[in-house]
Structure formats: C-alpha cells, structure tokens
Chains A and B, each alone.
Chain A
Amino acid sequence: MTDLTKNSLNENVNLIRQKKIKSEELTLAFVENIKKGKKLNSFITECNDAAIASAKNFDKKPNFDGLLPGIPIAVKDLFCTNAVKTTAASKMLENFVPTYESTVTGNLWSEGAFLLGKLNCDEYAMGSSNETSFFGNVINPIKENTVPGGSSGGSASALAADLTPATIGTDTGGSIRQPASFTGTVGLKPTYGLCSRWGIVAFASSLDQAGPMTKTVSDCALMLEAMVGFDPKDSTSINKKKENYSKNLSQNIKGLKIGIPKEYRVDGMPKEIDDLWEKGKKFLKEEGAEIIDISLPHTEYALPTYYIVAPAEASSNLARYDGVKYGYRSSKGANLIEMYEHTRSEAFGDEVKRRILIGTYVLSSGYYDAYYLKAQKVRQLIKNDFDSAFNNVDAILTPSTPSATFKIGEKKDDPISMYLNDIFTVPTNLAGIPAMSVPAGYDKNNLPLGLQLIGKPLGEQTLLNIAYVIESKSNLKQNISKWWEK
C-alpha cells in the first residue's frame, strides 16, 4: 500500500473525494507518523484522539462541498484554537486554553478540515531558527542537528517530515518563507490584510500575516484559497472577492516581466545561491518571461527598520501578558509592580525580553523621533521602491535566504547573525506585499534552498503561477531518510 502521508494535499483531497480512502485512514497514517516523529519536537500539542474522532465523524456523514474534505491539519501554535491549548511557545501561555477560534483556522475547518495538533514555533514567533521556544528547539528533518528555520519551524518540520499534509504559519519578517526554504517546502506570505489576524497571538500587528505552508505549489494555492477572506473583526482586513487560486493555477507566464534586484546580491553569499538564482532566471526565460534588472535602493535599510518597527509593536502587544487575567502569574512579589516583574521575568524567554527592551527603548520619549518615526519614514521609502519597480515588472525573483539551514546552537548567541537570516524576507513585510518561497535546489551539502518571488499587492496568483513553473522545471525529489524514526 502506498504511504498516504507522502502524497500531496491535492492528491489526498482527490482520493477522499473519489471515496478511494477514508478520512480516518488518512488521519491514522499521520497520527502514526506523529507518534514516531517525537524526536523532531515539532508538536507542542497533539490532538491525535480528537482528530481520529473528527475523521470518523466525517466518514459517517461525508461532505465534499469544502476545499479540504476530511483533511487533518496541524497548525502553528500561534493560532488560537477553541478548547485546545494555545501557547505561542511561551511559558506565559503554557496552560492557556482559548474559548474562541481564530478566523483563519475557522476558515479551514469550515472547508472540511479538522485540527491534528498545535505546532512548535519560536516564542511569540520571535526567532529565525525555532530555538527560542519554551518547549525546546525543533529539528529539521532534512538533517540531524540542523534548525528548521523560524519562527514557523515546527510547521515546516512537521510538513517536511510528513506529520501533517499541509500547515499554516505566520510571517512577520520571513517566518513562513525562511523555514520553507530550509526544509525544501513551499511557503507563502500573502498581501497584508488578505488573511484575518483575528485570533492569532500578535507579534507585530502591522507586519503579521498568516499563510500556507505546503509540499507543492498547487497545495499552496488550495490552502490559500481556504484561508483567506474578509473579516469585519479585523480592521486591517481587505474587503475583496475571494479568488480561485487553484482553478487559475497555470504555467503560462509568457510575457511576464520578472525583476532581478541588484541589491539582493550580498557579500559572502554562497556561490550555490547565486547559481540557483541564475537557474531560476533561466527557467522563467525558457517559459517566455522577460528578465529585467531592477534596483530597490533602500533594501539595505530594511533589516534595521524591521528591527525597530517589529520590537516597538511587540513591546506594546505583549504588555497584556501581565499575570493579572490569564496565563502565568508568579507567586512572588509583595505588590502589583513586583508581581509584574516576577511574572514577566520568569515567563518570557531571552529573545522575547530582548525585543521588549528594544521596542520600549525606541518608543521612549526622546528616542521616538530618532528611531520609531525615522523607521516609519524609511518603511515608506522601501514601499515606494517596490511601487516604482512594479511599474515595470510583474514580479521580482530573489533568493529566499542568504544561506541554507545551519546547525542547532550555531547562531543562538549571536542575535545579529541570526537577524541577518531575514535580510531577503523582511522588505516585503514592511511593504505589505505578497511573497513566497519555492524549493529550487540544494547547496553543496545537499541542503535545500528556495527562491523567493515577490508580487504586487494582491498578486498572489501571479506568484503561484511563476512558482509553479520553477517547481516543475527544477523537478526536485524530496529525499528524506526519516532518520528520526530509527
């Protein structure tokens, strides 16, 4: 019998639709893998029994109307799930059980999917290697002792290791695309406002955006279609008609203009990444796209801008975790202020504290203009760069990351080097535009590398189509040995 967990999401959806398999059979196969995959530490909460019960329920009265009939899906533990613990990978929310369901997960469930488990991530999504989680670091199934990227590291790891047929993450500065690149999977950060942020534990509100993480580009189109939608509960949600990404998925990119920004060629970038980029250009040219050199002059300021804006918003967003209403409360402290101090000292990890401190600093009176206000101005310039580039091109092609995955612990104590991981991904969050990472090759150690496609606002379909070409032309065979099962 074929291993259902190796199938793409679309294949499994079709098998269920054609009544060739039952939801229970599919769910049991994933549950089996989850049980064998504990070494990866990609799950914070397993919902095995509940998922099997949901599958049985589906099979009893199958409804094929939705996009994801009878599909079990594990999600990043940043999405609030009704009656299921939601931790944001923090001690602060170690035992927090929401009484509500995030809009995005709710959308998946109304398309016929159900919850398989909650996936590990960096604490409050702050990190690029999934080493800041209170529940321990996640391992990249690609290779022992390597990081899966972050912050959606658990999602990428579980997906690549066949522990979930597809998943969703959140991307504030690259948290979907960088782990996708590190694990040889597909990840898309939609246009800001396309997916509702309601019910997602907030990191940096003006940058946070949920998105799909999948094995294939067509899976990505399907998941995106299932997730998106206007939500009146989110004031930044875009009110527009839903697009049919799956149906409109096509490899016809003839005549599309693809920009190649010179600023994304950085010092010390491995030659394989440069080669991969060239290969990508060649693929697209072969399919009739036009390659155009462009300039995004403010790119070098994106990372410092990001590390002012994101911590500033985070310092305020995380103020609610004070031990008063829910979550962790220290038993120490003689008064309210001391209770705050102990609670937040004990329950936040180092990276979270670092960002709260940075954010508090840049918003302080006397520093606000020099940091936060200036960063907002630079952010506008970065956005303008993209706007003027998109006068001439339909999409932009860059590497997803400046390197492949790295060893666990290698960059943990060097925040600057860690932050540099996001150098290619943060500009799009600052500009609010869509971007995705698609696997395109390997480095010299046979570690996966991704190419990033950046699109116009609401240009997701164009990105998916171009990625579809790259996926088909690079024709990679994911070959993971499942060393963790031994």
Chain B
Amino acid sequence: MSKDNSKYLVEGRTGKWEVVIGLEVHAQVSSNSKLFSGSSTKFGAEPNTQVSLVDSAFPGMLPVINEFCVQQAIKTGLGLNAKINSYSVFDRKNYFYADLPQGYQISQYKNPIVGEGEVNLDLLSGSKKVGIERLHLEQDAGKSIHDLDPSNTFVDLNRSGVALMEIVSKPELSSPEEVNAYVKKLRSIMRYLGTCDGNMQEGSLRADVNVSVRKEGEKSLGTRCEIKNVNSIKFMQMAIDYEAKRQVDLLESGESINQETRLFDIKKNETRSMRSKEDAHDYRYFPDPDLLPLNLEKGLIEKIKKELPELPDQKKVRFIKDYSLSPYEANVLVSEKEVAAYFEEVIISADKKLATNWIIGDLFASLNEKNISISESPIKAKQMANLINSISSGLISGRAAKEVFEIMKETGGDPVKIIDEKGLKQKSDPKELETIIDKILADNKEKVDQYKSGKDKLFGFFVGQVMKISEGTANPQLVNDILKKKLK
C-alpha cells in the first residue's frame, strides 16, 4: 500500500486501486426517554429494568413519538447543513429476532426527517467536503447475550426503543484517514449540539461501513460490501484496510465481488461474510399505521435554528481571526466544545500564544496520560491562566513553570501557592544577581581569562554556576545580560 501525495491507494499486481467508502453512522439521541415510550435511556442499568409495556410489545400497546427526539434530529440536521423535511413518515421494518419485541423496528424509509447536507473535513492535506445523503430517526433493538449460558440466549430490552439517528454519508470517503476525520467531525458536531454524547464504548456511536474499490481514475463504482456494526474508529480503519485489500485481491485474480454483509473480526483483524445479497432480509417496509406522518409545526425549524450554538467550523474561523491561531491550532482547540471553552476561559486573562502552546502541549499530554477528558482535568482553566501569567510576568521561568505544572496536574493546586512553597520565584533583582555573579567571576578568574581570550563556550559554564547557586530561580534573561556586560 502506498500513500503518495496523501492519496490512499491500494497497490495491486495490475496497478493502483482507489477505495470508495460510505458510512451509515448510528448515533444514539441524547434524551432522557425512548423514542416512542417514557422509559429511561440511562446506560448501565440492571438488565430489563428500563422496559415499558410498549418497549416489550405487549398486546394493544401503541407508540407515541417523543417530540424532544424529533427536535434533536432537526438540530443535528441543521448542524450538518442539511435540508429538514417538514413532512416525514415512520415506517415499519419487519424482521424476526429475539431482541426485537415488536417483530419490526420503527424507522424512516422513504421520507426521512433530514435530507441532503454536507460535512467539512479538516485533513492534513487540506479540507474536503463530504456529502450527507440523509438522516432518519429509528428505534434501537434490545441486546441478545449469547455468552452467559452454553445453550440459552438472554435478552436485555433496556436498549429496546432507544432513539437512534442514522446518518448516511454519500460514498465520498476515500481513505481510513478520511473516515477517521469524518466520524470525529460528526461526533464533534453532535457533541456541540448536545444531540449525541458520541460515547463509542457505550455504543452511542457505531457505524456500518460500505467499501468498494475501483481502478485509479475510474468513474463508475464497484460492487460494495457492507461491514456491519463497527464500534470504534480504529476498527473501522482496520476493517477498511483489510476489506479493500481483499477486494483488490479478488478482482485481480479474475473473481468478482459478491454484494454482501460482512462482519469485522477484531481478534483476527479480518472481515467475514455474514449474509449474501440473496439471503438478505426482505424487510417489507410500510408506513406504520399506529403513527401519523410527522408534520413539523410551522416555525419549529426556524426556532431551533435560532437556538443553535456556535459550531466547530464557525468557531475555528473565529479563533483564527480573533486569536491569530494557525488553522492547525484552531482545529485542535475547537474539536471538542469543552476544550474550546477551556481555552477561551484561559485567555480571558492570559496570553493567547502561551495558552495555545500549554493547552495543546503539556495539558493534552497529561490528559492523555491519565486518559481523562478536559472537564475532568485537575487543572482548572483559572489555575492554568495563573500559571501562564506567572511566566508572562517573569515571576517564574519557563523551566520552573514545567515543575509547577507537574505538581498542579497531580494536586490541582494554585500555581502561585506552589511557586511560593517551592521557592521557585525567579530572582529578577539585578543587584542581587550581580552580587552572585561577581562572586562567581572572582572565584573563577582563570576561566574568565580563557573566555576573554576567545573560548566562547565557557559562557554556558558561568550561566550554569549562577543557576546552581540560585537553585534555578535566577531570571535567565537577566543573568545573560549581566554576564555579557561583566565579561566584556
């Protein structure tokens, strides 16, 4: 495989192949209750404790739409720059499975609530727009648990009926890197909007990945395979890598691709056939007669539009313009709403450039190390600003600041206090420094002579001596200035 000029191509025996990828992302709507019932959606509850008669499909039970979930879908659609359909229809997707109590999933088929839109990706090679085909609302199924008993399957219906948004991209992604950027961008937008928490470990965000390959430069699409239900970006990338290679191998050895549904086996790092097109379910979609078509109230879309928060793309533009950040820095800082808010809180009182470097550098490293989010950071924005201000004002040196930061990230303490306690305050009194320097020069007459006769490297020795005696608290700039003057 080669990645020349940032283009992702699969190197085959007969030439180079492009990969065409489309994603169906299933994003759990952030809402307290399910799409058609009042049951709680809280993650991690005891099995079958968040199940109503509607969720378990008792005779005579009827669905009633949760209007909050509808608003969340509209919000998300607006965040994807998409067309909102004021008329949409809920359909039944019929199939039998033990964790599907109704024997059908209520979804939207021909008339989804959100139509075409687009998402802007920021890639190393520049930016790229990826088309959104549609977004529709649907119910999640329950969970079948096969590994608790050798001969029985257990069913947990807590998830049954939880609202999902299925976001379908156009087949416009062409590399694992783009898929990474796309999913992260979707997640970022939805988290800004508060419409999906994007938590992949809890299954709030998962995707079906459609992959096909074609000879480089070819226009028509190849036969695709769908890799079902992949629940991490890393696995999506691994699955695409494997699947693209598999398809190229098949085509190059004269075989054809079967349109089929495949599963990604994490342990073996390979995709496996799940069912062929011939075995595909006939879902017998038809409009759910228990629900009237969804006609959005006049003015609802406008109202939601007005309440939209600033989204990552807009924020990025503003950060570049207002704070003179580089596009890269802006990207990193806006990718998460909480990071952007942290940054903006820090720079209320602190220097922008230093704040950017400290947040993207030391702070992110410490968060990664502890595997926590910025909201869980022991160093609050105010303290971060205090630390940065201590540097700007010359109270401490950059080196001392690192030392303070190390303490802060463990204790979350006040940097000013830490500086005091540890005596890290910079010695910036020229008279005090001159006294120290005079003594050092007097004690090292020989070296002073050598320096004066051209051994420039000895300058570092004198600086080191000053630092040693001042226990690192001497203001390095001042030390330099004084030394240079005295050694003339």
Contacts and interface: CB of A to CB of B under 8 A. Distances in A.
Interface in B46-103: 53, 56-65, 92, 94, 96-98, 101-103
Which of A325, A337, A340 has the most chain B CB atoms inside 10 A of its CB?
Answer: A325
A369 to B, nearest CB: 12
B282 to A, nearest CB: 5
B92 A316 contact: yes
16 contacts: A80-B60, A93-B59, A98-B58, A198-B62, A235-B290, A236-B289, A312-B286, A316-B94, A319-B102, A319-B103, A320-B102, A320-B103, A322-B96, A336-B98, A363-B286, A372-B286
A232 interface: yes
Given A198-B62, A316-B92, A324 B155 contact: yes
A360 B284 contact: yes
B41 to A, nearest CB: 20
A236 B59 contact: no
B153 interface: yes
Contacts of B58: 98, 100, 325-326
Interface stretch (A2-10, A200-208, A251-259, A392-400): A200-208
Given A325-B57, A360-B284, A364-B282, A206 B103 contact: no
B53 A100 contact: yes
A236 B56 CA distance: 21
A426 to B, nearest CB: 16
A206 B289 contact: yes
Most buried by A among B102, B290, B291: B290
Interface of B: 53, 56-65, 92, 94, 96-98, 101-104, 153, 155, 282, 284-286, 289-292
Contact of A319 (B53, B60, B94, B292): B94
Given A100-B53, A235-B292, A316 B286 contact: yes
Given A199-B60, A235-B65, A319 B104 contact: yes
Nearest to B60: A199
Interface in A334-389: 336-337, 340, 360, 363-365, 368, 372
A197 interface: yes
A86 interface: yes
Contact of A102 (B60, B94, B104): B60
Contacts of A199: 60-61
A200 B59 CA distance: 7
Main secondary structure of the interface of A (DSSP, over half): loop
**B58, B284, B290: which has the most chain A beta carbons within 10 Å?**
B284
A177 to B, nearest CB: 21
A200 B60 contact: yes
Interface residues of A, number: 43
Contacts of A235: 62-65, 290-292
A313 interface: yes
Contacts of B286: 312, 316, 363, 368, 372
Contacts of B65: 235
Interface in A288-322: 312-313, 315-316, 318-320, 322
A293 B284 CA distance: 42
Interface in A166-203: 197-202
Given A197-B62, A235-B62, A360-B284, A320 B290 contact: no
Contact of B104 (A98, A316, A324): A316
Interface of A: 80, 86, 88, 93, 96, 98-100, 102, 197-202, 204-206, 232-236, 312-313, 315-316, 318-320, 322, 324-326, 336-337, 340, 360, 363-365, 368, 372
A198 B60 contact: yes
Contacts of A372: 286
B103 A233 contact: no
A88 B98 contact: no
B284 A88 contact: no
A99 B53 CA distance: 9
A206 B288 CA distance: 9
B289 A80 contact: no
Given A80-B59, A100-B53, 5 more contacts: A202-B59, A234-B64, A235-B291, A322-B96, A363-B94
A328 to B, nearest CB: 13
Interface centre among A86, A313, A360 (most CB of B within 10 A): A313
Contacts of B56: 325
Contacts of B61: 198-199
Given A80-B59, A233-B64, A320-B101, A336 B94 contact: no
B290 A364 contact: no
A324 B59 contact: no
B479 to A, nearest CB: 78
Nearest to B56: A325
Contacts of A197: 60, 62
Nearest to B98: A324
Contacts of B64: 232-235
A144 to B, nearest CB: 34
Given A312-B286, A320-B103, A98 B59 contact: yes
Contact of B290 (A205, A337, A360): A205
A232 B36 CA distance: 12
A201 B62 CA distance: 10
B192 to A, nearest CB: 32
Contacts of B92: 316
Contact of A324 (B63, B94, B101, B282): B101
B76 to A, nearest CB: 23
Nearest to A206: B289
Contacts of A232: 64
Nearest to B36: A235
A198 B60 CA distance: 6
A324 B101 CA distance: 8
Contact of B62 (A234, A312, A325): A234
A149 B138 CA distance: 41
